[in-house]
Structure 1
Amino acid sequence: MIEVDKLRISFGDREVVKGVSFSVPKGGSFGIVGESGSGKSTILRAMAGLNNDWTGRIGFGGQDVPRKLPASFFRQVQMVFQDPFGSLHPRQTIDRILSELLLVHGIGDIEERIEQALADVALPKAVRFRFPHQLSGGQRQRVAIARALIAEPQVLLLDEPTSALDVSVQAEILNLLADLRAAKNLTYVLVSHNLAVIAHLCPEVGVMLGGEMVEQLTADDLRAGRTKHPHTSELRALSVNLEDPV
């Protein structure tokens, strides 16, 4: 479903992503872990069409991503951002936020789709006519996930989806994402600095350091300490418990 080959991204004279390659099968989940500034979120933004200044190849479903993205791309690929409060319009109701993408793409059955989207993320119907500031952080992130899912994409790009949340709700959101992937056969790429979060949701992991993906390994090998690159071992040593994402 996803192919990234020799991806390079520069900001001015500084190359921040240096020839990164990975692939994700349909229905799979691939995690990218690294410290701040390693280039992991920059990769995700290029994949989401938010940065067109890259070289190499990005493909979804066997089709290369063109420089000028068609509207159909944003039905296939959606992104969930780190800060749900920042990514939701503060002056729009949840109803308006969820209906906007449907209106843009000319998708009908708005009423039914909004109700189903809220049900998919386990939010009550009463949430629909509230504003983002009236919801908890976990509820806002559920709305952000519902918005990403409402046009029935095949791919979700997840940029630190739990890091802005209270510890008490982080595992709930991760379990919700796991359930949605299984139920809807979605394909995920998850970016995080938290190795436990990555290992919880992704069977395959790529480790970033200084713009390079220095190692790819399975979550099982990660838990067992079967690492090859010293940086992967360092990140693993800093993780308190790879079985518990919080």
Structure 2
Amino acid sequence: MITLDNLRIAFGQTEVVKGVSFSVASGASFGIVGESGSGKSTILRALAGLNRHWSGDMTFGGAQLSPRRDRQFFRQVQMVFQDPYGSLHPRQTIDRILAEPLIVQGFDRAEQRIAQALSEVGLPGSVRFRFPHQLSGGQRQRVAIARALIAEPEVLLLDEPTSALDVSVQAEILNLLTDLRQRRHLTYIMVSHNLAVVTHLCQHIGVMQHGEMVEQLSSADLRAGLINHPHTAELYALTMNLEEPR
């Protein structure tokens, strides 16, 4: 579904992504983990079309991606951001927030689609005419996921989607995302600083350090301690001793 080959991104004279390559099969989930400043979110933004200044090769569904994307790409690839309060318009109702992508993409049956989207992320219909500040953090992130799903994408890009939430709510959102991927056969790419969270959601993991992807491994190998790079071992020691979401 998605392939990156020798992706390089620089801000001025500083190269922040240094020749990163990986591929994600259709319906699979790939996690990018690393410390702040490692380049993981920069990769996600370039893939989403939010940063056009990159070199290398990106393909989506076998087709070459250019820095400028068309409307069809933005329907097929949707992003869920870290802060659900910041990513939702504070002066729009949930109904309006969910209706906007339907209007932009020319979908019909808006009423039914909005009701279905809320139900699919476990929200009651009563939240439809509320504003974001009237919802909890977990409810806001469910709205953000519903907004991403309502355009019927094939790929979700997840930028630390649980880091702004309480630990108990994190588990709920991660379980929701797992169920949605299996039900809809979605492809996920998720970035996080938390190795335990990524391992819970993703089948394969790439570890970033100083702009380079220093190791790629399966979540099963990671749980078994089959680690090759010392930075992966450091992250494992820091985070995997914490209880994973269930």
Do these two structures clear the TM 0.5 threshold for a shared fold by scoring above it? yes
Q: Is this contact kept in 1: 2:8–2:17, CA < 8 A?
A: yes
Residue identity in the other structure for 1:52: R
- More off after superposition, 54-63 vs 133-142: 54-63
Residue identity in the other structure for 1:190: M
Q: Match of 2:192? A: 192
Q: Distance in 1 between matches of 2:184 and 2:243?
A: 25
Residue 67 (structure 1) shift: 2.4
Residue 65 (structure 1) shift: 1.4
Q: Distance in 2 between matches of 1:78 and 1:7?
A: 20
Q: Distance in 1 between matches of 2:169 and 2:75?
A: 28
Q: Distance in 2 between matches of 1:30 and 1:79?
A: 14
Q: How does 1:194-213 map to 2 (within 5 A)?
A: 194-213=194-213
Residue identity in the other structure for 2:135: L
Q: Distance in 1 between matches of 2:191 and 2:59?
A: 18
- 1:126 and 2:121 matched: no
Residue identity in the other structure for 1:53: H
Residue identity in the other structure for 1:71: R
Match of 1:46, SS?
helix
Q: Match of 1:5? A: 5
Match of 1:129, SS?
coil
Q: Match of 2:95? A: 95
Q: How does 1:16-165 map to 2 (within 5 A)?
A: 16-165=16-165
Q: Is this contact kept in 2: 1:28–1:187, CA < 8 A?
A: yes
Q: Match of 1:180? A: 180
Q: Distance in 1 between matches of 2:40 and 2:4?
A: 13
Q: Match of 1:166? A: 166
Residue 241 (structure 1) shift: 3.2
Q: Distance in 2 between matches of 1:231 and 1:69?
A: 35
Percent identity over the alignment is 72
Q: Is this contact kept in 2: 1:76–1:153, CA < 8 A?
A: yes
Q: Is this contact kept in 1: 2:54–2:67, CA < 8 A?
A: no
1:240–1:206 CA distance, 2 compared to 1 (3 A):
closer
Structure 1 runs (4+) deviating above 2 angstroms are: 240-243
Q: Give CA-to-partner distance per residue, 1:142-163, whole Å, 9 cap, x none.
A: 0000000000000000000000
Q: Is this contact kept in 2: 1:223–1:242, CA < 8 A?
A: no
Q: Distance in 2 between matches of 1:149 and 1:65?
A: 22
Q: Is this contact kept in 1: 2:30–2:188, CA < 8 A?
A: yes
Q: Distance in 1 between matches of 2:44 and 2:56?
A: 14
Runs of 5+ unmatched residues, structure 1 = none
Q: Is this contact kept in 2: 1:200–1:243, CA < 8 A?
A: no
- The number of equivalent residue pairs is 246
Q: Distance in 2 between matches of 1:63 and 1:209?
A: 29
Q: RMSD of the TM alignment (CA)?
A: 1.0
- More off after superposition, 61-70 vs 98-107: 61-70
Q: Is this contact kept in 1: 2:154–2:187, CA < 8 A?
A: yes
Q: Is this contact kept in 1: 2:195–2:240, CA < 8 A?
A: no
Residue identity in the other structure for 1:14: T
Q: Distance in 1 between matches of 2:15 and 2:108?
A: 43
Match of 2:241, SS?
coil
Q: Distance in 1 between matches of 2:241 and 2:141?
A: 24
Q: Distance in 2 between matches of 1:194 and 1:119?
A: 29
Residue 66 (structure 1) shift: 2.0
Match of 2:128, SS?
helix
Match of 1:36, SS?
coil
